[in-house]
A = this chain, B = another copy of it.
Amino acid sequence: MLYLVGLGLSDETDITVRGLEVVKRASRVYLEAYTSILLVDQSVLESYYGRPVVVADREMVESNSDEILRDAQTEDVAFLVVGDPFGATTHTDLVLRARELGIPVQTVPNASIMSGIGATGLQLYNFGQTVSMVFFLDNWRPASFYDRIRENRSIGLHTLVLLDIKVKEQSLENMARGRKIYEPPRYMTVGQCAQQMLEIEEEKKEGVYGPDSLAIGAARVGSKTEKFAAGTLKQLCEADHILGGPLHSLVLLGNRAHELERDYAREFALDKNSWDNVWAANYSKA
């Protein structure tokens, strides 16, 4: 059996009791570690589980999945995924390959940022499609998120923006020379995301949102140190020191927002007067 086990959002104790049982009895345990991260290291997981864990990078999962699935017709293999196995990304290919090999698959669900973001006080019913934001390069500024946000906003809905993480990246020079030396990991902050969003709006000038659009920055959702900052995109460009360390996410508010959402999130406002004023001007229900 292949078990896809969600680890939740924060630390080693966020695994479910059922998930922990699977990990303890599996023949081999893999940790998918390139689409998201826990706030604790692999070594903490290993000592908590009392067994070794193989870190599976993108290359291994995409090109060497048969090694992960080896003998899983008769043995139990646990494939651990931060968040929910079908959350921010899916491992559809791995399951399709398992099916081809006649390997049964079972999922152990867990918290995902896609539902955890409800801790902002924004109603999950009012969210449209989720988008991703990648680190811009000088000559590469993918902006497909802009059209998706337009679609969501056209029907009044919030947009969850998931922020890029870069782990195990090589510099161009190291890549060219074939040196397996990796850069330190980088995690996009709410400030960087808000900045990039405003850059694209300035470029496109289609008024999908602007510096005074309301948003909520979220850090370490679901952990004991989770932190939120609510304000305009302009304010959020400068709020990283309040949010603290990774992982960050951002929600751009839709205009169909409800008073209860306003009142709940006001607690997190960087400037409560500004929050009240912008809300009254642009987000009161029709």
Contact = CB atoms under 8 A, between A and B. Distances in A.
A83 B111 CA distance: 9
A193 interface: no
A124 B13 contact: no
A159 to B, nearest CB: 11
Interface residues of A, number: 61
Contacts of A96: 263-264
A171 interface: no
Nearest to A261: B92
Given A107-B222, A119-B86, A13 B9 contact: no
Nearest to A88: B124
A110 B9 CA distance: 9
Interface of A is mostly: mixed
Interface stretch (A15-23, A72-80, A245-253): A15-23
Assembly stoichiometry (copies)? 2
Contacts of A118: 84-87, 90
A265 to B, nearest CB: 10
A260 interface: yes
A192 interface: no
A271 to B, nearest CB: 19
A267 B99 contact: yes
Interface of A: 6, 8-9, 11-18, 20-21, 83-88, 90, 92-93, 95-96, 99, 106-112, 114-119, 121, 123-132, 151, 154-155, 157, 221-222, 224, 226, 260, 263-264, 267
14 contacts: A11-B18, A12-B17, A14-B16, A14-B18, A87-B115, A99-B267, A107-B226, A109-B222, A110-B111, A112-B115, A125-B130, A127-B130, A128-B128, A151-B155
